[in-house]
Chain A
């Protein structure tokens, strides 16, 4: 118990600082991912010919080792938070892109036919029919991305991005298990917390009618 108290008194402020950095990097990457991948996914659902190609490329990017990607951005963007965010953003894209694509693609074609026949414009169809119906699937993608990002963001430390990875890698270099645990536990807790929060958000964002239909079934 004493050692725990000592650890917090010594590293408490640092821990908070690093947690903030960690969240900042993760959220920045996630926000960029959402902003780019959701519209792109909707667009791809309209372009089935291009969709296969783009999804294929995104899948390949996903297989690159994360460290390699991070290193790859150093000559382009230098070191620090910016290249870290850029690399993590690339990673966050795929789950969101894929889920948006699938979510929009899976909207009942009869509903689209009905909305077309009733005189909705293309934008109205997207905003009032496709997106609300695809929200649960899109949100699931965002949630998955967010949890991955919290994990991957530890690697940002390698290129000077900061975050809880600093504590872990310091611990590894200095043979200090307390620092490793002190960094790893908050990362895990953040991931669990975020998963739970986004799960709540997913539920809230799902239109009432759809939610009732699912829970009833």
Chain B
């Protein structure tokens, strides 16, 4: 829908606020531009509604160069929300919401009906329409600010740190409400912020910028899982990364990759020997291609007197497995709900990759609960600072 093709903004004196930026934004995407102040994120956004004119390169909106369009019509077709809210104090809430439709020449009756519809959309009472901006709280004002941007139903909305000036509780509820609204209405959003939590919460795609360049682009999960460099890591923050790592750890990362397995064709006596040698009470069974088939336990062998039978004859085949790339948080739930002691881990070709035991889960738990505390306490005596 929106394509930045080698776009730069160079200010007098040669400062490159935005430096040869390439970016593609799909329809319906919620894109967060994020970075430290002065990284060019706001400049990048303002080039879309031409509040800032690019020095080089071109920006295509649905295939058309933005600079070829009539600037006033262009802006009327793009929603715009700013941090300072910018409601007009001399207009009622109704007139504020209906402003862009009015500029576009929509008759009064129609645009006021639109204002009422929008108020319903966010569950705000219609009485507010007759009030003036100063009579509303900051959170209510910014809700109106968002509605004003939605009034003419633009497919694209630009938001410049819209929730930055609100108190944390109001911000949280507005974020949730807005994300909901965006998904319902299917709008494309370009959202500038410097708050990583906000970006992680809202974005489909996060664009991290630094000194006018894009450092990394990706979904919140991708960025948390694979920060491109140290700058991104620092920007996300150690704490958040550690938290995310647990959230995003996969089964493959913590499983025991060397499970005790036995071929389908082996005899029970061979299996028992293996169990004794490795000191385990069950074996995972694989076929010649390494594909996981089932398991045998010491009880199953014990019940079956004929130790010359093949493992394949007595093994339990109805065994739950888990894929190595499953997120740990999903797998854990499964294991706990079913009360399993362990789960075989398979790869995408169903080949046995490892085993996830309760022990490995407990290790993760230790790491997350006591891992940091241990580091701190071990440092304490040396520092001579008691708690």
Question: A: which residues have CB within 8 A of B?
Answer: 108, 110-111, 113-121, 124, 129, 132-133, 207-210, 212-213, 216
The answer to whether the Cβ of B84 comes within 8 Å of any Cβ in the partner chain is: yes
B88 within 8 A of A: yes
Interface residues on B, range: 20 to 34
Beyond A110-B82, A111-B86, A118-B100, whether A209 also contacts B92 by CB under 8 A is yes
Residue of B nearest to A109 (CB): B84
Chain B window 58-96, contacts with chain A (Cβ cutoff 8 Å), 1 for yes, 0 for no: 000000000000001111110010101110111110000
Q: How far is the CB of B261 from chain A (nearest CB, A)?
A: 64
Q: Beyond the given A111-B86, A114-B86, A120-B103, could you list 18 further A-B residue pairs with CB under 8 A, ordered by the A residue number?
A: A110-B82, A110-B86, A113-B86, A114-B82, A114-B88, A115-B86, A117-B82, A118-B99, A119-B74, A119-B100, A119-B103, A133-B89, A207-B90, A208-B132, A209-B91, A209-B133, A210-B90, A212-B134
Known: A118-B80, A209-B132, A212-B132. A113 touches B72 (CB 8 A): no
Residues of A within 8 A of B135 (CB): 212
Q: How far is the CB of B142 from chain A (nearest CB, A)?
A: 12
Q: B residues within 8 A CB of A124?
A: 103
Can you name 14 A-B pairs with beta carbons within 8 Å?
A108-B84, A113-B86, A116-B51, A117-B49, A118-B103, A119-B76, A119-B103, A133-B89, A207-B90, A207-B91, A209-B89, A209-B91, A210-B90, A212-B132
CA distance A116 to B88 in the complex (A): 13
Inter-subunit contact A119/B134 (CB<8 Å): no
Q: Which of B75, B77, B90, B132 contacts A116 (CB 8 A)?
A: B75
**Contact between A113 and B88 (Cβ–Cβ < 8 Å)?**
no
- CA of A203 to CA of B158, assembled, Å: 37
In the complex, are the beta carbons of B72 and A213 less than 8 A apart?
no
5 smallest CB-CB distances across A and B, nearest first, come from A114-B86, A207-B90, A119-B75, A119-B76, A209-B132
What is the CB-to-nearest-CB distance from A50 to chain B, in angstroms, rounded to a whole number?
A: 20
| Closest residue on chain B to residue A213 by CB atoms | B134
Q: Are the C-beta atoms of B90 and A209 separated by less than 8 Å?
A: yes
Residues of B within 8 A of A129 (CB): 88
Q: Name which of B89, B91, B99, B135 has the most chain A CB atoms within 10 A of its CB.
A: B89
Q: How many Å from the CB of A38 to the closest CB on chain B?
A: 18
**Residues in A whose Cβ lies below 8 Å from that of B132:** 208-209, 212-213
**Chain A hits for B134, CB < 8 A:** 209, 212-213, 216
User: When the two chains form their complex, are residues B72 and A119 in contact, meaning their CB atoms are under 8 A apart?
Assistant: yes
Residue in B51, B84, B85, B92 whose Cβ sees the most chain A Cβ within 10 Å: B84
Q: What are the interface flags for B98-130 relative to A under an 8 Å C-beta threshold, 1 for contact and 0 otherwise?
A: 011001000000000000000000000000000
Residues of A within 8 Å of B91, CB to CB, are 207, 209
Contacts of A120 in B (CB 8 A): 72, 103
Kindly supply a per-residue 1/0 record for chain B positions 31-58, scoring 1 wherever the CB is within 8 Å of any chain A CB and 0 otherwise: 0000000000000000001010000000
B117-165 interface with A by 8 A CB criterion: 132-135, 148, 158
**Bound: A118/B145 CA distance, A:** 11
Q: What's the minimum C-beta distance from A160 to chain B, rounded to whole angstroms?
A: 46
Q: Which residues of chain B are near A110, meaning CB under 8 Å?
A: 82, 84-86
Query: Which residues does chain B contribute within 8 Å of A209, judged by CB atoms?
Result: 88-92, 132-134
- With the chains together, A124 CA to B74 CA distance in Å? 16
Residues of chain A contacted by B158 (CB below 8 angstroms): 117
Q: Which B residues touch A118, using CB under 8 A? A: 75-76, 80, 99-100, 103, 148
> In the complex, what residue of chain B is closest to A216 when comparing beta carbons?
B134
Give Cα A129–Cα B73 distance, bound, in whole angstroms. 19
Task: Give every chain A residue within 8 A of B86 (Cβ-Cβ).
Answer: 108, 110-111, 113-115
In the complex, which residue of chain A has the Cβ closest to the Cβ of B100? A118
Cα A110 to Cα B85 in complex, Å, equals: 8
How far, in whole Å, are A119 and B80 apart by their CA atoms in the complex?
10
Contact with A along B251-277 (1 / 0, CB 8 A): 000000000000000000000000000
Residues of B within 8 Å of A216, CB to CB, are 134
**B19, chain A: closest CB distance, angstroms:** 24
Distance (whole angstroms) from the CB of A116 to the closest CB of chain B:
6
Q: How near does chain A come to B42, taking the closest CB pair, in angstroms?
A: 11
Residue of A nearest to B89 (CB): A209
Q: Are B103 and A117 in contact (CB under 8 A)?
A: no
Which A residues are in CB contact (< 8 Å) with B75?
116-119
Rounded to whole angstroms, the CA-CA distance of A118 and B84 in the bound complex is 14
Contacts of B89 in A (CB 8 A): 111, 133, 207, 209-210, 213
Q: List chain B residues, Cβ under 8 A from A116.
A: 51, 75
Residue from the set B51, B73, B133, B134 with the largest chain A CB neighbour count within 10 Å = B134
Given contacts A118-B76, A118-B80, A119-B75, contact A111 B51 (CB under 8 A): no
Per-residue 0/1 for B353-374: is the Cβ within 8 Å of any A Cβ (1 yes, 0 no)?
A: 0000000000000000000000
Q: Give the chain B neighbours of A111 by CB distance below 8 A.
A: 86, 88-89
Choose one: B82, B90, B100; the contact of A132 (CB below 8 Å). B90
Instruction: List the B residue with the shortest CB-CB distance to A112.
Output: B86
Give complex CA distance A117, B49 in Å: 7
Residue of B nearest to A133 (CB): B90
Closest to B73 in A: A119
B191–chain A nearest beta-carbon distance, Å: 15
Query: Once bound together, how far apart are the Cα atoms of A172 and B73, in whole Å?
Result: 68
Q: CB-nearest residue of chain A relative to B83?
A: A110
Shortest distance in angstroms between A118's beta carbon and chain B's nearest beta carbon? 5
